[in-house]
Chains A and B, each alone.
Chain A
């Protein structure tokens, strides 16, 4: 194991995949300069301008060209710079990439990765801080992954590159510099397998992405035995691990940075309720952002942020029900 940052872990994983497979290449803005978070640093020097392609600010074509390149046998890694800019390329992602295999009757595959760093980071305000993972889990055809640790980010990126499905990788901007233990060899991490982050009997806590370290801290601070799952991927998601845990605890808390209303937490809670029935669930809650844009000023941003204290408070409340 080596200790490294989230950005460095993904950089090493991408480099390893590019060495393994000459058909893997990356395109997006400022990649030759290393990407805005340093997650591509040094790759242009190693792989050249044909495989690390700095592009114009043309989101539709970054996304759409990635698709065309996948249909012609290469494995592009499409960098969206930040998730919010994906909104300029939604047709290409939702109506083209997610649909080609199906509507062409399996003739073509969009074997590609879309990296979209998301969430709050350094007071970036309303247009650079959104968490829109729930939108994409709603789209048939897409795999959606949302890692919360450097090791998972590396392993899921490796899986995403090797997958024949189009994979959206939502990387938490706030964790780019977070350090973690990463294996020397980047073994791909399968989609739909949660990481059991902490074991406990009092309640089940489900989270992903930037909320992972917040939940881990809050659960510890609560002093209550939480069974914590970092889903790591949202479609597919590890329904069986969550159900098995809730069968034991009867209590469920889902925590995400995204707006609570119609967030993916609603899907998790609905599935648990559908399968276990009302009698199987003594208490349940979703903890997310209010239905407000992300504000700029630090105290305003803090007002909507999920914090360890809020998680601990929710944990105590649910455990007491």
Chain B
């Protein structure tokens, strides 16, 4: 799990640098500081399980086993990217590992996850769906619809609310009434469990229990993972709307360092941990270099994969 978290962080550090330098076009939304949620949850998923993700979804994809090199090429808009350069950071998908796509619309993955679970049932597959979304999503209609829907049909869905405290530039508590995400899920009959999302072992343990209940046919579960978004909303947002000490405090609760400390206590050599992190950094730096060297997509690709009937002339 340490290796996975380190890989996600290294990927996003490179992605943010590439965005700032202009090498990667468009916008990236880093999840730095939140890696423990993606890794702790996905540690309990099998390849056949599906996930839906968000605009802040690099971590979910990597944790589910997506090809990080193809992802980096995608962020650079190059041929050979996960989506052939047609999606970019906000639309990373890797169907080969059950990653049904990041999404540029807040909360949009919730109905998709519900339907994926219905198809899994109809096809008699042994699989579940993990649906990641942020705390901002709980104020959208599809959140309410999806909670009710999943509970109504007892669907095999693990809803994972990554509560990083911010809905874009606004503190979510300033725009959210009532008792919060878990209470809303429970009001629809989806049992909710809270966890410290900055403690990957805690996330792993709770996710293991919830996933087991779902696999046993118990219906949907809701995991409310509290965490903190170290960076701004995007890679270039300085997040001037919040006190610097708050972000500094969050950096002090670093999910990677916390796990590293526990590993060292358990006898793992510090050098081994540093080597794993260095390896992750080297891997992602190499992917970034590969992305810069990769060819751009052929212009004709802009017209493919639109539709079969009535395709662009």
A61 touches B114 (CB 8 A): yes
Query: Which of chain B's residues have a CB closer than 8 A to the CB of A91?
Result: 105, 108
Query: Which of chain A's residues have a CB closer than 8 A to the CB of B112?
Result: 64-65, 67-68, 71, 96
Closest residue of chain B to A167 (Cβ to Cβ) is B309
Closest residue of chain A to B157 (Cβ to Cβ) is A68
CB distance from A252 to the nearest CB of B (A): 21
B309 touches A141 (CB 8 A): no
B299 at the interface (CB under 8 A from A): no
CB distance from B10 to the nearest CB of A (A): 24
**15 A-B pairs with C-beta separation under 8 A:** A60-B142, A64-B110, A65-B112, A68-B129, A70-B119, A71-B119, A72-B50, A95-B108, A104-B87, A107-B93, A142-B307, A165-B308, A191-B309, A191-B310, A236-B309
B119 touches A69 (CB 8 A): yes
**Chain A 32-62: CB-based contact to B (< 8 A → 1; otherwise 0):** 0000000000000000001101011010110
Query: Which of chain A's residues have a CB closer than 8 A to the CB of B110?
Result: 61, 64
Q: Which 10 A-B pairs have the closest CB atoms?
A: A64-B111, A68-B115, A65-B115, A236-B310, A105-B83, A72-B119, A105-B84, A68-B112, A58-B145, A68-B116
Which chain B residues (289-313) contact chain A, with CB distance < 8 Å? 304-310, 312
Query: Which of chain B's residues have a CB closer than 8 A to the CB of A72?
Result: 50, 100, 115-116, 119-120, 123
B230 at the interface (CB under 8 A from A): no
Which chain B residues (100-137) contact chain A, with CB distance < 8 Å? 100-101, 103-105, 108, 110-123, 129
B146 at the interface (CB under 8 A from A): yes
Please report B residues at the A interface, Cβ cutoff 8 Å.
50, 52, 81-87, 91, 93-96, 100-101, 103-105, 108, 110-123, 129, 141-142, 145-146, 148-149, 152, 304-310, 312
**Chain A 64-82: CB-based contact to B (< 8 A → 1; otherwise 0):** 1111111111101000000
Q: Out of A65, A102, A166, which one reaches B305, CB within 8 Å?
A: A102
Assuming the A-B contacts A103-B86, A105-B84, are A96 and B108 also in contact, with contact meaning beta carbons closer than 8 angstroms in the complex?
Answer: yes
Q: How large is the interface on A (under 10, 10 to 19, 20 to 34, 35 or more residues)?
A: 35 or more
Query: Which of chain B's residues have a CB closer than 8 A to the CB of A64?
Result: 108, 110-112, 114-115, 142, 146
**Chain A 232-275: CB-based contact to B (< 8 A → 1; otherwise 0):** 00011000000000000000000000000000000000000000
Inter-chain CA distance A165–B129, complex, in Å, is 24
Most buried by B among A50, A61, A74, A92: A61
A74 touches B305 (CB 8 A): no
A58 touches B148 (CB 8 A): yes
A164 at the interface (CB under 8 A from B): yes
A74 touches B308 (CB 8 A): no
Closest residue of chain A to B312 (Cβ to Cβ) is A140
B86 touches A74 (CB 8 A): no
Query: Which of chain B's residues have a CB closer than 8 A to the CB of A298?
Result: none
B95 touches A104 (CB 8 A): yes
Please report A residues at the B interface, Cβ cutoff 8 Å.
23, 25, 27, 50-51, 53, 55-56, 58, 60-61, 63-74, 76, 91-92, 95-96, 100-108, 140-143, 163-166, 190-192, 235-236
Closest residue of chain A to B142 (Cβ to Cβ) is A60
User: A74-B122, A108-B93 provided; 9 other pairs, C-beta below 8 A?
Assistant: A55-B149, A61-B142, A68-B52, A71-B95, A102-B86, A102-B305, A105-B84, A164-B308, A166-B307
A61 touches B145 (CB 8 A): yes
CB distance from B198 to the nearest CB of A (A): 30
Inter-chain CA distance A108–B307, complex, in Å, is 12
A-B contact count (CB 8 A): 160
Closest residue of chain B to A71 (Cβ to Cβ) is B100
Inter-chain CA distance A192–B307, complex, in Å, is 13
Inter-chain CA distance A108–B120, complex, in Å, is 16
Query: Which of chain B's residues have a CB closer than 8 A to the CB of A164?
Result: 308
Closest residue of chain B to A165 (Cβ to Cβ) is B307
Closest residue of chain B to A91 (Cβ to Cβ) is B105
Q: Out of B81, B100, B119, which one reaches A108, CB within 8 Å?
A: B100
Most buried by A among B85, B118, B141: B118
B122 touches A25 (CB 8 A): yes
CB distance from B159 to the nearest CB of A (A): 13
Query: Which of chain A's residues have a CB closer than 8 A to the CB of B306?
Result: 101-102, 140-141
B310 touches A143 (CB 8 A): yes
B119 touches A68 (CB 8 A): yes
Query: Which of chain B's residues have a CB closer than 8 A to the CB of A65?
Result: 111-112, 114-115, 118, 149
Most buried by B among A25, A68, A165, A192: A68
Inter-chain CA distance A104–B310, complex, in Å, is 19
Assuming the A-B contacts A65-B149, A106-B304, are A60 and B111 also in contact, with contact meaning beta carbons closer than 8 angstroms in the complex?
Answer: yes
CB distance from A144 to the nearest CB of B (A): 9
Assuming the A-B contacts A69-B115, A104-B95, A105-B86, are A192 and B308 also in contact, with contact meaning beta carbons closer than 8 angstroms in the complex?
Answer: no
Closest residue of chain A to B112 (Cβ to Cβ) is A68
Query: Which of chain B's residues have a CB closer than 8 A to the CB of A92?
Result: 108, 111
Query: Which of chain B's residues have a CB closer than 8 A to the CB of A56?
Result: 145, 148-149, 152
Inter-chain CA distance A198–B263, complex, in Å, is 81
A60 touches B152 (CB 8 A): no
Query: Which of chain B's residues have a CB closer than 8 A to the CB of A102?
Result: 86, 305-306
Closest residue of chain B to A235 (Cβ to Cβ) is B310
B93 touches A104 (CB 8 A): yes
